[in-house]
Amino acid sequence: MEDPKFTELVKFLEEEQQKLKEVLKDLTYIDPWHIIDNTEMMTLADFALESIVPACCKHECNVEPDGYCDHGNPSILIELKVI
């Protein structure tokens, strides 16, 4: 039988972990249009054909078109609802 205090502690820690993930995401997010505006040769259509695209992340992460970076930020194609 599991100790109720232990169960409560685990639940609390999981909630805190989720809050920290959200803070990290907020600190690293970048507007997808900023990425497109600062990319000289590529257009949104070009990104849709690539196997790796930028994530909306200040750390300049690259992800699969339907992916999220390690900081929790989506690809520009997800964010712009292209896919």
Tens digits of pLDDT across the chain (83 residues): 678 888 898 899 899 888 888 877 777 887 887 776 655 556 777 777 889 999 999 999 999 999 999 999 999 999 988 88
Degrees (nearest 5) of the Cα angle 74, 77, 71? Answer: 15
Q: How many domains does the chain have?
A: 1
Beta-ladder partners of 78 = none
Q: Which domain holds residue 54?
A: 4-79
Question: In a 3-state reduction of DSSP, which class is residue 24?
Answer: helix
